[in-house]
Amino acid sequence: MLRVLPSILLAGFLAFMGTVVVMSNQGKEIALFRLFAGIPHFDKIGHFLLMGIASFLAVFALSPRLKTPVRKGALFVTMGVGLFVSMEELSQVFFASRTFSPADLLCSLLGVAIFGALAARWVLALDKNPR
């Protein structure tokens, strides 16, 4: 069970993020985010944390399963998450209810890089057979 737990957490988080993206694209308000609306720069902090958590979970769940050295696998996974996040941010120009922001993209990518690096270090520390 512990071996599949990171994958389960990743799938659940991606389902949550997918729901957030779809609701935002449809112009629907997300009640959970109203709780934090009064926090200064909440939007930027949210991008950093949410995309960072996605990167952490992806690296933790996927990089040990790749047939590459863990460091290389973690880099590939982090780059993939960064590409996906960039595409999602850039896609906002096609939705009237969304507003593309370079600052949001920067915060998202910083979260991806920092949390991805933290996960890579953790995976390396736990790796019994460093490759």
Q: What is the pLDDT of residues 62-77, one digit of tens each?
A: 998 888 888 899 999 9
The residue whose two tokens read 């952490």 is 56
The whole-number average pLDDT for the span 91-116 is 94
pLDDT over 90 (residue 30) = no
pLDDT for the residue numbered 109: 98
pLDDT over 70 (residue 1) = no
Structure tokens at 63: 């990089």
pLDDT over 60 (residue 45) = yes
CB 27 within 8 Å of CB 36: no
* 51-65 per-position pLDDT tens digit: 999 999 999 999 988
Instruction: Report the Cα 48 to chain-centroid distance in Å.
Output: 9
Dihedral sign from CA coordinates of 122, 58, 104, 20: negative
pLDDT for the residue numbered 59: 96
What Rg do the C-alpha atoms of the chain give, in angstroms? 16
Contacts by residues 43-49 (CB-CB < 8 Å, ≥ 24 positions apart): 43/104, 44/103, 44/104, 44/107, 45/107, 47/104, 47/107, 47/108, 47/111, 48/107, 48/108, 48/110, 48/111, 49/111
pLDDT over 60 (residue 131) = no
**Mean pLDDT, the chain, integer:** 90
Distance between CA atoms of 125 and 70, rounded to whole angstroms? 10
Question: Vertex 44, ends 12 and 31: CA angle to 5°?
Answer: 55
